[in-house]
Each structure stands twice: as C-alpha cells, then as structure tokens.
Amino acid sequence: MLKEANTKMIPLGLEQMLLRGSMQRNTAWVHAVVVYTGHETKLMKNSTKAPLKRSSIDKQTNTQILMLFMILLVLSVISAGFNELWLSRRAGTDWYISLHGAQNAKFGYNFLTFLILYNNLIPISLQVTAEIVRFFQAKFISMDSEMYHAATDTPAQARTSNLNEELGMVKYIFSDKTGTLTANVMEFHKCSIAEIMYNRPGPNESFEDTPLYQNLKRQHPSAAVIREFLTMLAICHTVIPERQDGKINYHAASPDERALVLGAAMYGYVFSARTPGAVAVDAGGTTLTYQVLNVIEFTSARKRMSLLVRTPTGEIKLYCKGADSVIYPRLAGGPEHAKYAEATLAHLEAFACDGLRTLVNGLTRITKRL
C-alpha cells in the first residue's frame, strides 16, 4: 500500500498490477513500484531445466548401438581366449611359422587387436547420416506450401530437427473449450432477447434488415429490452477503445469481451470512449455517457462480472453477465418467477447443442439512493 503525505492509504491490488510483457495505453504518466524482479519473478520461479528431447528412433538407435558394443566386447574376449588356446597347442609343433613372438603377447594385447579388427560392427556413420537426413527434412518442412500461413506470412519452422520422426505419431488428443487447439477467434452469432431468438446478419445481409434491428426501430413490445441488452453488451466489460485512422480498435483482455462489443456495434451501439469514471456509447448518432460507479471484475470463483452505472437519465442500474449456473439462482423471485427465464434457458440449451459458448445477461434497477 502507498501512503500520500498527510492523507490516506492507497491500496495496490491486481487492477494496478502490470505483468511482464503488458502494454499501457491511453495513459500519459504513471507512478510505478517495481516488485518481484530477477529470480523472484513468476517466470523464474516456474522455470525448470529444459529436458533433453529425443525421438523414439534415437532411443532405439542408442539401445541397439549399446547392444552391438556389448557383442563386440564378447566377441573380442572369446577371440582372444581362443587365440591363447590355439597358440598353446601349436607353439611346440608348428615351429616353422615362428609362433614364439605371438605367444609372448599378453591377453590384453590380443583383446585390443580383435577389438580393432571387429570395430566395423559399430555403425559409427549412422548418427552422422541421421543428422544429415534430419537437416534436410527440416528444410523441406519450412518449404512446405501446405504448412504456410498466408494470413500472417508465416512458414512452418522446425526449431529442432531431433523430433522430425515424431510428426504424425499421435496417440491421444486432449481438448478443452478455451481455444487451445483452435484459432481462439470469438464471434457474436446468436442471442435470445425477451423470448425471441435472433441470428447475426448473413454475409450478404445488412444489419438494418435483421429482425432485431426491425423490432428495435418499429417499437416492438420488446424494443426496450433490446435497448438494454445492446447497452449492456456495449458497456459491461473492461475493453479499451483506441482510435486509429478514423476507426476504433478494441483491446480486450479476452476474445469473448471483444466479440460482445463488436456484436453491439453491429446493431448500432458503438462503444466509443472510456475514462476512469465513465463510458460513452454512440447509439444511432446519439452519444450516451454512463457514469461508472463500481466495477466487480470477473473471477473464476464468481463466474460473473457486475457493473454499477448511473445512466444519462439519472437512474442507477446494475448490469451483470456470467454463466447461467450463477445468474439464474440470483434472479428476483427465483427462476420460476423471473421474466423470460424459462424461454431463455431453452434457447441456451439450443445454443449449447450448436457448439456455441453461452452467456447470460441480467439487469436490476437500484431504487435506494447512493
């Protein structure tokens, strides 16, 4: 905690933490305290010694070479033994071939002699040949047009050629819902508002022709609920807008929040600005400024995010978004008495069957004076 001169204590929490590699935007200056440096950083604390990566062919080759070396030693010992036995029997009878010099040689000398004679049993050039083959395999991988990603101009890159043989040898696949095995690109597809299901505009369809936009402009009985829904998508988040060349780029902590903001902008509710105490939304040419009274961030324990704001008309509203398992138990009067709860739950099940990630939005008005 920091303490100003003769004033109050200022707490430092996770909201003020800038992790390694983070980028600060839309901020002219900051007071910073550097903590957890050097070997105390999370990266250094979690770092371990890099393991030695070897392919299955390397392991088999090393085992076979070790076996061949053991066979070489056994053959050399047997040959040296039989050499001693043969010399002891022939030295006295076969005097004409001058075996006296050979008989004086020791067993170790004979063992080394046979070890040199049989050394071709060890494939010394095998490792060199394998490394040359792997080198050219890595070059072929980097030149493979089917592994080239044109969107980012990134070819395949074999950082180490030791594991080329392991490509395609897949036994198990573990998947989850966080985009680890996918491109992790989130898009706004469908929504359920006031018991009516809406789809996003098609590739050749204007958003003005969509049922959601028509119900909003024609003052459908659910138009007020649609406005609240789009307003919530546009303000209940921690996205930072950045203007570049007349366009707004959104920087979000997760692709989910960015997709929701773009979904609201698709129907005319454009999140345009954020200040420490307010957010601005461009709704059909009208700029609406909402005063942010409090933000309760999303956590894995709460499974929801809450935003308390003062609307341009002076009302105080609490917007909340999160998983249906935490939103439904908190509905006023329970899920069986809350408005639109039963039909929305049926739509959520339909969305989940389509493989979509679902989110529930809730709203309440604060009548007590703050």
Residue written as token pair 């105080």:
316
**Residue 180: per-residue pLDDT:** 57
Higher pLDDT, 236 or 332: 236
- Angstrom distance (rounded) from CA 241 to CA 322: 22
Q: Which CATH class is domain 190-366?
A: alpha beta
Domain coordinates in residue numbering, the chain: 56-123, 127-166, 190-366
pLDDT tens track for 78-92: 998 888 887 777 666
pLDDT of amino acid 99? 59
**127 against 319, higher pLDDT:** 319
298-333 burial string, b = 16+ CB within 10 Å, else e? Answer: beeeeebbbbbbbeeeeebbbbbbbebeebbeebee
Q: Known catalytic residue: 245?
A: no
Give the tens place of pLDDT for each residue, 213-254: 888 888 888 899 999 999 999 999 888 888 888 788 888 888
Tokens matching residue 55: 């392919």
Q: Can you give the length of the chain in residues?
A: 370
In single-letter form, the type of residue at position 358 comes to T
pLDDT of residue 5: 58
Mean pLDDT across 171-186: 67
Closest alpha carbon to 293 in 272, 273, 271, 315: 315
Beta-strand ranges (E) seen in 170-303 are 190-193, 196-199, 240-244, 247-251, 269-275, 278-283, 286-296
Contact of 240 with 250, CB cutoff 8 Å: yes
Quickly state the pLDDT bin for 202 (edges 50, 70, 90).
confident
Q: Which of 94, 153, 176, 324 is catalytic?
A: 176
Per-residue pLDDT averaged across 108-114, rounded? 85
Helix 125-142 crosses helix 56-90 at what angle (to 10 degrees)? 160
